[in-house]
Amino acid sequence: MTKHALYICKSCSFSLTQRDYLGERGGKHLFDRLAQLYQNWFLKADFALEELVCLSACKRPCAIALTGAGKMSLMFGDLPPLNSADAILKLCEQYHASTNGIVPRQERPEILQQGILARIPPPPVR
């Protein structure tokens, strides 16, 4: 059973000025690239990879979100779909290793040091 998930918005445009590239949305391209890398990723058994129709970050494409049991959820935008997949998986590794879901900005891959859209705390344990 996976305890972590990476969500990718498949509807995201390539950028604010370009909706599609070669007939494909930026988010779909990003998901497809991540899915290729995911096949041989050492954390595949611990991390679900999910594409969503929309993460409602339309003014900040491409958008992703990370969740983990008992951890802060993180959401990022402004990710270039052609060259951010490797960095996203590196961030997932850092997130997986963290106890609370917080990965300090200066420790994240450079492309993910900007563009954080949300940090959402986990539900309280009662």
Q: What is the pLDDT of residues 48-107, one digit of tens each?
A: 999 999 999 999 999 999 999 999 999 999 999 999 999 999 999 999 999 999 999 999
* CATH number, domain 4-120: 3.40.30.10
Res 2 pLDDT > 80:
no
Alpha-carbon dihedral angle through residues 20, 74, 6, 41, given to the nearest 10 degrees: 110
**Tokens representing 1?**
């059973």
Cα(46)–Cα(37) distance, integer angstroms: 15
At residue 90, what are phi and psi to the nearest 5 degrees?
Answer: -65, -45
**Where are the chain's structural domains?**
4-120
**Contact, 92 vs 66, CB < 8 A?**
yes
H-helix segments, the chain: 26-38, 85-97
**Contact, 9 vs 28, CB < 8 A?**
no
Res 23 pLDDT > 90:
no
Percent of the chain with pLDDT over 90: 83
Percent of the chain with pLDDT over 70: 98
**Contact, 9 vs 37, CB < 8 A?**
no
Cα(29)–Cα(25) distance, integer angstroms: 6
Stretch 2-11: mean pLDDT, rounded? 93
* This model's pTM is above 0.85: yes
Q: What is the mean pLDDT of the chain?
A: 93
pLDDT of residue 28: 95
